[in-house]
Homo-oligomer: A and B are copies of this chain.
Amino acid sequence: MSYALESKVQSSELLSREEFDAAIRAVGAERYHDKHPFHKMLHGGDLNKDQVGAWALNRYCYQSAVPRKDAALMSRVHDNDLRREWMHRIVDHDGLGDEPGGIERWLVLTDGLGLDRDYVMSMRGALPATRFAVEAYVRFVREEPLVVAVASSLTELFAPKIHKERISGMLENYDFIDDKVMAYFKRRLNQAPRDADFALEYIKDHAKNRDEQEACIDAVRFKCNVLWVQLDALYHAYVDGHVPPGAYRPGERNV
């Protein structure tokens, strides 16, 4: 952060659009989950297939919650144009008509990792910390002021970089990963930036005072926490080996 921005951060003055933008991006630079050791292991080829499976199985909870949180947001929007824009997100994840969505593409990944689809979708084997974090996100979007709820989506600003690293890292490092199972991330390379650009412009236009701007910046921190908690829980369970009761245990009978 520049000195000029640092000093303004101390005041209660409205941030300019550029300063607001920089403050949002600074959150990503500080705490987006691409900095988490589990991600570095995932992309660097340091996990085994079971550990990658545990990640994909847990992350399914997040994927499948995303359309619910987007619908929660839409349920609060009186502006037809904003709803039409936001609806693309649900279509991207749930699909529409004959077109499969991101959730289906995620299940292609878990299939490829040898996980039973019904078991994945039941979420019975997911870590409780994952479930709690994901549902906290849905509640946040349902309950916080609309502009703040929109801001919580802005981790998508940082997603294309992690997806690119993931695609190349995982394809290169794991013989059980191929192009087909990475389809989810390839699609998100185009979807996420479009959505993030829209949401960023929206909060710049609609955060009316410094308090609302700060609440938007905090929303991105909150969302980074939602993502980070999931990787902490995975690391503790599947790298350090402290799998909690009821959670997925590779190599055992999981029902």
Contact = CB atoms under 8 A, between A and B. Distances in A.
Interface of A: 64, 67-69, 71-78, 80, 83-84, 87-88, 90-91, 94-96, 101, 103-104, 138, 142
B64 A68 contact: no
Given A64-B78, A67-B74, 11 more contacts: A68-B76, A68-B77, A71-B74, A71-B77, A72-B72, A75-B75, A80-B101, A84-B96, A87-B90, A87-B94, A88-B96
Nearest to A99: B84
A64 B78 CA distance: 7
Contact of A74 (B68, B88, B95): B68
Ranked 9 nearest A-B pairs via Cβ: A71-B74, A72-B75, A71-B75, A71-B71, A68-B75, A84-B94, A83-B94, A80-B103, A75-B75
A92 to B, nearest CB: 12
5 contacts: A68-B78, A68-B83, A72-B72, A75-B75, A84-B94
Contacts of A87: 87, 90-91, 94, 96
B94 A142 contact: no
Copies of this chain present = 2
A62 to B, nearest CB: 13
A97 to B, nearest CB: 8
B96 A83 contact: no
Contacts of A71: 71-75, 77, 83
A88 B98 CA distance: 12
Contact of A75 (B80, B84, B94, B142): B142
Contacts of A103: 80
Contacts of A104: 80
Contact of A138 (B68, B69, B75, B88): B75
Contacts of A75: 68-69, 71-72, 74-75, 138, 142
A76 B139 CA distance: 11
Contacts of A74: 67-68, 71, 74-75, 90
